[in-house]
Amino acid sequence: MVLLGLHASSACGQEHFDNVDVKGFAELIQNPDVQLLDVRTAEEYSEAHLDGAFNIDVKKQGFIDQAVERLDTTKVVAVYCRSGRRSANAAGMLAEKGYKVVNLKGGIIAWKDEQMPVVSSIP
């Protein structure tokens, strides 16, 4: 199984989540059971986000409470931000709550650099 392989290949033994590159992330989010989470600001999300992602700002108070309300612990959470730092922070918090989490290395910057599609909420 791909998801089992992802867990075994964690980049750092201290992390409780996986970091994957754009190709691995793109493959992962093809699974309809994967929950796609953008942890940037609402403004950043509006400008451009991955199709199907929902937004919870990791920097806002109550992030973990909102995440627990919206996310299913039985499904993988694929998380990203601008460059991968905020999402790694969010991934750590979610993993501590029992979620299976995969973080996009390089964030949406890396995603766009690979010419992967994004959508905008701005008309």
**pLDDT tens readout for residues 69-113:** 999 999 999 999 999 999 999 999 999 999 999 999 999 999 999
Q: Which of 22, 58, 78, 81 is catalytic?
A: 81
Question: Tokens at residue 73, please?
Answer: 């612990």
Question: Do residues 6 and 20 touch, judged by C-beta distance below 8 A?
Answer: yes
Kindly report the pTM of this predicted structure.
Answer: 0.87
- Reply yes or no on whether 12 is catalytic: no
> What is the DSSP secondary-structure string of 20-42?
E-HHHHHHHTTSTTSEEEE-S-H
The radius of gyration of the chain's CA atoms, rounded to the nearest angstrom, is 13
Res. 13: pLDDT tops 80: no
Q: How far does CA 104 lie from the centroid of its chain? A: 6
